[in-house]
Amino acid sequence: MTDVKEIIEIMKSPNKKNIEIVTKAYNAAFNAHSMQKRLSGEPYFEHVFDTARTLAKLSMGAKTIAAGFLHDTLEDGLITKDDLIKEFGEEVVFLIEGVTKLGKLEYKGVERHVESLRKLFIATAQDMRVLIIRLADRLHNIKTLKGHPSEEKRRRIAIETLEIFSPIANRLGIGKLKGDLEDNAFPYAYPEEYKKTKELLNTKSKVNKKYLEKVRRTLQKELAKQDIKDATTDYRIKRMYSLYKKLLLNNMDIDEIYDTVALRIVVSTVGDCYRVLGIIHNIWRPLPGKIKDYIANPKPNGYQSLHTTIFTGDGGIVEIQIRTSEMHSEAEHGIASHLAYKEAQNKKTAGAKKEPVWIKQLLDWQKNVTGTGEFLNNLKIDFFKDRVFVFTPKGDVIDLPEDSSIIDFAYAVHTYIGNHISSAKVNCKMASLNTKLTNGDIVEIITKESAHPTSKWLKYTKTTLATKRIRAYEAENGSKLKNLLPNIGRHRLF
Ligand code: MN
């Protein structure tokens, strides 16, 4: 069941060196976890094996797959860092350490500030591959959630997966991973809604498939007649959780949703995509407002396809998606395919493929990286490098510019808190107000009615919000402030 050959067969570029790395990691992980069992009683090794297999399926490189095998060894103290470096080199260990660090992040108050939590997660990961290993790790955990003894925890893990993990997979354009994470988490997060959605989908998709089959037969003949070569047609059934989200927007009315089952046509060129669209509209009447050209205007995560919805003429309505095979694999693998290129040190980027802007920026930035420690920067995540994400004691995330101080934090929470800072704790320790905050800090502000801002604070603020509020306070209380200054001194910490 857990044979390394299976992984090697899936691997995209299994040259001798890559097979050696992966096999060595397989053996080391197998030995390290040999005595461990999961909560469900299964051998622990199955968890890391499945993580590595998911990474191989995403066409990730050998080092990433190796790190997938070894991702729990450091945290569990099964192999020392020194031994790992000796055996696998710094790059693999950097990835393992990143995954370990990410695992320690707690998502207190998940329902609040989820967008900031996602950013914190990405910023902490530092490297795309760390992020993807963590997603693959989570996928196996959520697939085996049944074995978790606590119902409350099962629910929390499932919701966290839907709120934090799958949106990141989506952002990275890895549609397959996003869908798998969501559909495995959905029944545990919202059991009732899951049941209802499943029933609706089953009834609806049966009817829909009947219409689709007719459309497909007609279309195949027509495509052959018009000499469109290599066109393949297929169904895609809408993923359960994404259907649920759409139902929520439509008062749970399934008849408003036309893409429960969609016909998917894959052709070889972009020109053929538009020709096929023309052929379809020539035979069937399209629903107005439902034609979407994601080829000319890709979605932010890079997704490309043409979508149209047609009246089948006998009462049915069917969505059709048209794309090239390249767009198809891009939609499934997203950034993962670009990373494999990078790890293999292939100088070519992803060819003429159109990348999402943020990926392009990332790749451009990497080209300019020189000097020592290069591999660390190789696939470094840069888009949040100017931000820090810190927690309130309640677990809310506050998103601040880099080099922000406790004063900036206090004003970001509330003007009153900023105007009455008496002292502060960072990670439970007293800290002076000019302390610069770093990612993941938990910041607690102690206020006093008698405490007030001083103009000295302006030296320690980074945000315009804090600067403005302090100036406003001074303007309002200017004369009072001067008179109070000797008193205020007692409250100042620097
Ligand atoms: Mn794990």
Please, what is the end-to-end C-alpha distance for the chain in angstroms? Answer: 63
Q: Which two tokens stand for residue 109?
A: 């108050």
76 among known catalytic residues: yes
Instruction: Check 3, 9, 20, 76 and give the catalytic one.
Output: 76
pLDDT at 329: 84
Q: Which amino acid is at 475?
A: A
- What sign does the dihedral 347-353-359-362 (CA atoms) show? positive
Asked whether the beta carbons of 473 and 452 are under 8 A apart, the reply is yes
CA pair distance 265, 35, nearest whole angstrom: 49
pLDDT at 494: 38
Task: State pLDDT tens for residues 199-223.
Answer: 999 988 888 888 999 999 999 999 9
Q: From ligand 1's centre to the CA of 37, what distance in Å?
A: 12
Tell me the DSSP string of 152-206. HHHHHHHHHIIIIIHHHHHHTT-HHHHHHHHHHHHHHH-HHHHHHHHHHHHHHHH
Q: From ligand 1's centre to the CA of 118, what distance in Å?
A: 19
Q: From ligand 1's centre to the CA of 368, what distance in Å?
A: 34
Residues 6+ apart with CB under 8 A from 451: 420, 421, 422, 488, 491
Q: What is the mean pLDDT of the chain?
A: 84
Asked whether the beta carbons of 398 and 417 are under 8 A apart, the reply is no
Q: From ligand 1's centre to the CA of 216, what distance in Å?
A: 43
Q: From ligand 1's centre to the CA of 114, what distance in Å?
A: 23
Tell me the DSSP string of 271-312. HHHHHHHHHHHHHSEEPTT--EETTTS--TT----EEEEEE-
Q: From ligand 1's centre to the CA of 385, what distance in Å?
A: 27
Q: From ligand 1's centre to the CA of 90, what distance in Å?
A: 20
What tens-digit pLDDT sequence spans the chain (494 residues)?
A: 789 999 999 987 789 999 999 999 999 999 999 999 988 888 999 999 999 999 999 988 899 999 999 999 998 888 999 999 999 999 999 999 989 888 776 665 445 566 667 777 777 777 888 889 999 999 999 999 998 888 999 998 999 899 889 988 887 778 899 999 999 999 999 999 999 999 999 988 888 888 999 999 999 999 999 988 889 999 888 999 999 999 999 888 888 888 888 999 999 999 999 999 999 999 999 998 889 999 998 887 778 999 999 999 888 899 999 999 989 888 888 777 666 656 664 433 333 334 444 445 444 433 443 333 333 334 555 556 677 888 888 767 788 888 999 999 999 999 999 999 999 999 889 999 999 998 778 899 999 999 999 989 999 999 999 999 999 998 888 655 554 444 444 343 33
Q: From ligand 1's centre to the CA of 69, what distance in Å?
A: 9
Tell me the DSSP string of 364-433. HHHHT--STTHHHHHTB--TTTTEEEEE-TTS-EEEEETT-BHHHHHHHH-HHHHHTEEEEEETTEEE-T
Tell me the DSSP string of 440-484. T-BEEEEE-TT----GGGGGG--SHHHHHHHHHHHHHHHHHHHHH
The reply to whether the predicted model has a pTM over 0.75 is: no
42 among known catalytic residues: no
pLDDT at 207: 84
pLDDT at 244: 95
Angle (CA) 59-269-299 rounded to 5° is 65
Q: From ligand 1's centre to the CA of 445, what distance in Å?
A: 35
pLDDT at 149: 85
Q: From ligand 1's centre to the CA of 27, what distance in Å?
A: 17
Q: From ligand 1's centre to the CA of 358, what distance in Å?
A: 28
Q: What is the DSSP letter of 37?
A: B
Q: From ligand 1's centre to the CA of 337, what distance in Å?
A: 23
Instruction: Check 75, 87, 222, 326 and give the catalytic one.
Output: 75
Task: State pLDDT tens for residues 243-280.
Answer: 999 999 988 888 888 888 899 999 999 999 999 999 99
